[in-house]
Amino acid sequence: MGTRDFTILLVEDDSDHAELVFRCLREQLPNARVQHVRDGQAALDYLLRRNEYGDPATSPTPELVLLDLRLPLVDGLSVLEEIKRSPDLRRVPTVVLTTSDAPKDLQRAYAAHVNSYLVKPMDFEQFSRQVQDLGLYWIGWNRHP
């Protein structure tokens, strides 16, 4: 990987899942600054620079958003729709990382222009590998304009 720093916004209410994502990304992508919020309202506040996230120096626009669907306050699909509606955010790759493999969730996510939809494996090792691969792909291998 290159040496440039970058920001990933992790929107995840499950603290165990968040910790696992942190560990995997830290190991695979040491230059990643992972910003973690626990609900959809906080995600929108961060992305739209509202309230405590108003300063771009401490809340930079992420290069990648990892978004759970089942979130308190504002659900993940509503967050996704807001991201893709925004001229300033729509180019930010947004990956749904969820336990839901419901066809209606998948269809709604792609209708809202999600960049990728991943179902979290129940197995710890598979989940770890999935997060590592996803970080490598979106930050390491994928090219951004």
List the 94-98 sheet strands across, edge first: 32-37, 6-11, 64-67, 94-98, 116-119
Q: What is the dihedral of CA 81, 41, 91, 65, to 10 degrees?
A: -110
Residue 4's pLDDT is what? 61
CA–CA separation, 76 and 82 (whole Å): 10
DSSP state of 60: P
pTM for this predicted structure:
0.90
Mean pLDDT by 10 residues, the chain (145 residues): 74 91 83 92 96 91 94 96 95 92 94 93 85 80 72
Residue with tokens 């916004």: 9
Instruction: Reduce the secondary structure of 96-117 to three states and give it as a string.
Output: EEECCCCHHHHHHHHHCCCCEE
Domains of the chain, residue spans: 6-140
Residue 144's pLDDT is what? 67
Residue 17's pLDDT is what? 87
Q: Which fold has domain 6-140?
A: Rossmann fold (3.40.50)
Q: How far is CA 135 from CA 83, 85, 109, in A?
A: 20, 24, 20
Residue with tokens 């809202």: 112
CA–CA separation, 76 and 43 (whole Å): 9
